[in-house]
Structure 1
Amino acid sequence: MTDSYAASDPNTETGWRGSQEIWLEAAYQLLLESGVDSVKILTLAKQLKLSRTSFYWFFKDRDALLEALLTLWQEKNTAALLRQAASYAQSLAEATLNIFDCWLDNAIFDNSFEHAVRSWGVQSPQVSKALEEADRIRLEAIKAMFVHHGCEPLVADVRSRALYLTQIGYISMNTQEDVGIRMQRVPAYVAIFSGTLPNAAELARFHQRHSYK
Structure 2
Amino acid sequence: MAQRQQRTQQQGGKKPRLTAQDWADAALAAISEGGLAAVAVEPLATRLGTTKGSFYWHFANRDALIDAALDRWAEINTEGTIAEVEEETDPERRIRRLFAFAVRAATEDPLEVSLLATAGHPRVAEAFHRVTERRVAYVAQLFAELGFPQAEARQRGLLAYSVYLGHAQLGHAAPSVLPASEGGEFSAYLDDALGVLMRR
* Contact 1:103–1:111, Cα closer than 8 Å, also in 2: no
Alignment size in residue pairs: 183
Deviations 1:103-137 (CA, angstroms, capped at 9, x unpaired): 2554x998533222222323x12221221222122
Deviation at 1:68, TM superposition (A): 0.7
3-state SS of the aligned residue for 2:110? helix
Tell me which residue corresponds to 1:142: 139
Please tell me whether Structure 1 or Structure 2 has the larger radius of gyration of its CA atoms.
Answer: 1
Residue aligning to 2:61: 61
The CA distance in 1 between the partners of 2:192 and 2:100, in whole Å, is: 16
Secondary structure of the equivalent of 2:60? coil
2:168 matched residue in structure 1: 171
Q: 2:113 aligns with which of 112, 115, 132?
A: 115
Q: Is the 8 A contact 2:32 2:109 kept in 1?
A: no
Return 5+ residue gaps in structure 2 as ranges: 1-10
Equivalent residue number for residue 47 of structure 2: 47
Residue type at the aligned position of 2:101 = C
Larger deviation, residues 73-82 vs 172-181: 172-181
Q: CA separation in 2, counterparts of 1:117 and 1:183?
A: 27
Residue type matched to 2:31 in 1? L
1:97: which partner in 2?
96
Name the residue aligned to 1:33: 33
Looking at structure 2, the residues matched to 187 and 121 of structure 1 have their Cα atoms a distance apart, in angstroms, of 31
Q: Percent identity?
A: 21
Structure 1: runs of 5+ lacking an equivalent: 7-15, 197-213
Q: Which amino acid aligns with 1:70?
A: L
Residue 189 in structure 1 maps to residue 188 in structure 2: no
Q: Given that residues 140 and 153 in structure 2 are in contact (C-alpha distance below 8 angstroms), is that contact kept between their aligned partners in structure 1?
A: yes
| Cα RMSD for the two superposed structures | 3.0
CA distance in 2: counterparts of 1:143 and 1:5, whole angstroms: 48
Contact kept? 1:81, 1:138, Cα under 8 Å: no
The answer on whether the counterparts of 1:88 and 1:95 sit within 8 Å (CA) in structure 2 is yes
Deviation at 1:71, TM superposition (A): 0.6
The letter for the 1-side match of 2:118 is: W
Q: Secondary structure at the match of 1:121?
A: coil
Check whether the contact 2:107–2:167 (CA below 8 A) recurs between aligned residues.
no
Amino acid at match of 2:168: I
Question: Structure 1 residues 91, 34: CA separation in 2 closer, same or farther (over 3 Å shift)?
Answer: closer
| Cα distance in 2 for residues equivalent to 1:167 and 1:22 | 29
* Partners of 2:107 and 2:168 within 8 A in 1: no
One-letter amino acid of the counterpart of residue 134, structure 1: V
TM-score of the superposed pair, with normalisation by structure 1: 0.72
Deviation, 1:5, is: 7.3
